[in-house]
């Protein structure tokens, strides 16, 4: 093998291929002429008056369902809504609902009402002596354990 190096300066500077005159000016037109034109597509689903009626009825149904299921807001009851209800009726209602005085005493309004001795004595008046003794024993046992 010949180990002689090839030098680029020694090579001929000829272009082996020839290009027709104006070839690159016409090339984009040639390429675009080969691309097939797509026909204008019609939408698969057309809009008709039946669809409009169906849309309006569906929206009306949703509106009716929301109107029926959303609860109405209750307005203000006024300054003293329980002024016409007797104390005995309120106590009877609370007893039916199994609400004790202890449950009510967690609220500041009730605690303030029980600050005076006369209010406490009024509610203790109707209790049986046995119930009072039992409450006192439970209170003492809790105090002793602390």
The pTM score is 0.26
Tens digit of each residue's pLDDT (9 = 90 or more) over 61-91? 999 998 888 877 767 766 677 777 888 888 8
Cα 56 from Cα 50, distance rounded (Å):
10
Neighbour tally for 72: CB within 10 Å? 5
Q: Residue 22: which H helix or E strand, with range? A: none
Cα 40 from Cα 26, distance rounded (Å):
27
Is residue 115 classed as helix, strand or coil in its secondary structure? coil
Q: Cβ contacts of residue 111 below 8 Å, gap of 6+?
A: 105
110 closest CA partner among 101, 100, 123, 97: 101
Tens digit of each residue's pLDDT (9 = 90 or more) over 93-134? 888 888 876 676 666 666 666 666 565 566 666 667 777 777
How confident is the model at residue 25, as a pLDDT? 92
> Residue 8 above 50 pLDDT?
yes
Q: Cβ contacts of residue 113 below 8 Å, gap of 6+?
A: 119
Confidence of residue 56 (pLDDT cuts 50, 70, 90): very high
> Residue 142 above 60 pLDDT?
no
Contact call for residues 107 and 101 (beta carbons, < 8 A): no
């Amino acid at each position: 093998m010949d180990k002689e190096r090839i030098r680029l300066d020694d090579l001929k500077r000829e272009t082996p291929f020839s290009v027709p005159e104006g070839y690159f000016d016409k090339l984009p037109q040639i390429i675009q002429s080969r691309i097939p034109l797509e026909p204008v597509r019609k939408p698969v689903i057309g809009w008709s008056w039946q669809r409009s009626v169906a849309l309006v009825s569906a929206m009306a149904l949703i509106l009716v369902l929301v109107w029926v299921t959303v609860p109405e807001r209750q307005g203000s009851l006024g300054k003293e809504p329980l002024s016409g209800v007797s104390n005995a009726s309120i106590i009877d209602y609370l007893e039916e609902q199994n609400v004790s005085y202890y449950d009510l005493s967690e609220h500041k309004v009730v605690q303030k009402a029980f600050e005076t001795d006369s209010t406490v004595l009024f509610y203790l008046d109707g209790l049986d002596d046995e119930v009072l003794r039992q409450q006192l024993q439970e209170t003492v046992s809790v105090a002793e354990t602390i």
